[in-house]
C-alpha cells in the first residue's frame, strides 16, 4: 500500500477545517466524486476525441526550455496552480504545455506595448523572480522554502516587486503576472481531470446537453457533494480580493509610474 502522502510534504496539503490535519492527496479533488468526462469519450466526435486523448496520454516533451529553466518554471507553476492535493499520477502537466507553446512560438495573437515578445518574457522572468528572491530572502528562488517562494510571487502578484527595476521597466509587472497565470490556467483547466474537478461536462457533440435548467446534471453527470477544506496553513495564495478590480486599465497605477514618482521624490529630498 502506498503511504497516504506518497512523497508529498503534508504541510503543503490542504487541511481539514475541523481538525486542522492535512488531507491526503486524492485522485480527484472537487465536489463531484466519480465523475469522469473521459469515460464519456465514446460519445464524442472523433476529432475531439483525438485532441483530448493526445492531451491526456501524450503531453509534449521538452523542446524549448533548458533543463534549468524547465526546473525553475516547474517550481513557479507549482505555486501558481498548486497540485499537492492531487495524487502524483493525476497531476496535470503545465510547464510541458507552456514549453510547447513557446517552441512553436504560438502566441495570443498580440503583444502589449509594455511587454517584450513572449519568449523574452520567460527568459527575463527567471532573472526578475530570482532577483526578487535574493532581495527578500537572500537566496535564489529555487533554494527558498516554499512559504518564502510563495511570498516572492505574492509580491509580483500585488504589483509590488522591490528588486529587478531594470527588468520591470522593460516588462509590465501586471501583464507579466497575467501572462504566467494565463498560461497556467490555459494548461490546467484545458485538462479533463480539471473538468472532473470543477464539474464541467466537457464535449457533447453529437450527443447534446438536455437538462438546461436549475443546474441539473445530465444523466451521466453527477450531483455536487460538497466537503470543507482549507488551503495549507502557510500559503500566500489562499486569499482572493475582488476589491482590486478596476474598470479601466488606466485606473491602475503602473509600477513604472510609481518608480518614476519615487525617483522624483528621492531627487527632491
Spatial CB neighbours of 42, under 8 Å, sequence gap ≥ 6: none
| The binder of other proteins chosen from 87, 124, 147, 185 (CB under 8 A) | 185
| Shortest separation between residue 18's beta carbon and other proteins, angstroms | 17
Helices 146-157 and 173-188: angle between axes, nearest 10 degrees: 120
Does position 45 interact with other proteins (CB under 8 A)? The reply is yes
**Site map (CB under 8 A) of other proteins, residues 138-177, x = contact:** ------------x--x---x--------------------
Looking at the Cβ atoms of 71 and 244, the one nearer to other proteins is 244
- Residue 150 CA to chain centroid, in angstroms? 13
Does position 20 interact with other proteins (CB under 8 A)? The reply is no
Does position 65 interact with other proteins (CB under 8 A)? The reply is no
CA nearest to 170, candidates 219, 121, 103, 203: 121
Looking at the Cβ atoms of 187 and 268, the one nearer to other proteins is 187
Spell 7-24 as b/e; 16+ CB within 10 A means b: ebeeebbbbeeeeeebbb
Looking at the Cβ atoms of 138 and 238, the one nearer to other proteins is 238
| The binder of other proteins chosen from 242, 265, 266, 268 (CB under 8 A) | 242
Q: How far apart are the first and last CA of the chain?
A: 67
Largest Cα–Cα separation, the chain: 71
Whole-angstrom Cα distance, residue 102 to residue 75?
18
Q: Which helix (H) or strand (E) holds 115?
A: none
Looking at the Cβ atoms of 59 and 266, the one nearer to other proteins is 59
**Which cell is 84 given?**
499537492
| The binder of other proteins chosen from 26, 55, 140, 165 (CB under 8 A) | 55
| The binder of other proteins chosen from 58, 247, 268, 269 (CB under 8 A) | 247
Residues 71-130 that bind other proteins (CB under 8 A): 79-82, 85, 106-114
| The binder of other proteins chosen from 88, 143, 198, 263 (CB under 8 A) | 198
Amino acid at each position: 500500500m502506498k503511504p497516504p502522502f506518497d512523497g508529498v510534504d503534508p504541510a503543503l496539503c490542504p487541511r481539514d477545517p475541523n481538525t486542522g490535519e492535512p488531507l491526503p492527496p486524492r485522485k480527484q479533488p472537487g465536489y463531484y466524486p466519480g465523475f469522469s468526462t473521459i469515460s464519456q469519450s465514446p460519445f464524442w466526435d472523433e476529432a475531439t476525441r483525438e485532441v483530448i486523448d493526445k492531451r491526456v496520454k501524450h503531453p509534449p516533451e521538452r523542446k524549448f526550455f533548458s533543463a534549468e529553466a524547465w526546473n525553475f518554471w516547474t517550481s513557479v507553476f507549482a505555486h501558481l496552480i498548486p497540485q499537492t492535493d492531487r495524487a502524483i499520477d493525476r497531476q496535470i502537466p503545465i510547464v510541458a504545455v507552456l514549453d510547447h507553446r513557446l517552441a512553436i512560438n504560438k502566441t495570443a495573437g498580440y503583444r502589449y506595448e509594455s511587454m517584450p515578445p513572449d519568449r523574452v518574457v520567460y527568459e527575463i522572468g527567471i532573472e526578475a523572480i530570482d532577483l526578487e528572491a535574493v532581495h527578500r530572502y537572500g537566496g535564489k528562488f529555487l533554494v527558498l522554502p516554499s512559504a518564502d517562494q510563495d511570498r516572492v510571487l505574492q509580491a509580483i502578484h500585488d504589483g509590488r516587486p522591490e528588486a529587478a527595476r531594470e527588468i520591470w521597466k522593460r516588462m509590465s509587472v501586471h501583464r507579466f503576472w497575467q501572462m504566467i497565470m494565463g498560461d497556467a490556467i490555459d494548461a490546467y483547466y484545458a485538462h479533463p481531470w480539471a473538468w472532473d474537478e470543477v464539474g464541467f461536462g466537457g464535449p457533447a457533440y453529437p450527443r447534446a446537453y438536455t437538462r438546461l435548467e436549475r443546474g441539473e446534471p445530465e444523466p451521466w453527470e453527477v450531483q455536487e457533494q460538497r466537503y470543507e477544506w482549507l488551503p495549507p496553513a502557510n500559503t500566500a495564495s489562499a486569499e482572493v480580493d475582488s476589491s482590486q478590480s478596476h474598470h479601466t486599465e488606466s485606473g491602475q497605477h503602473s509600477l513604472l509610474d510609481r518608480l518614476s514618482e519615487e525617483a522624483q521624490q528621492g531627487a527632491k529630498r
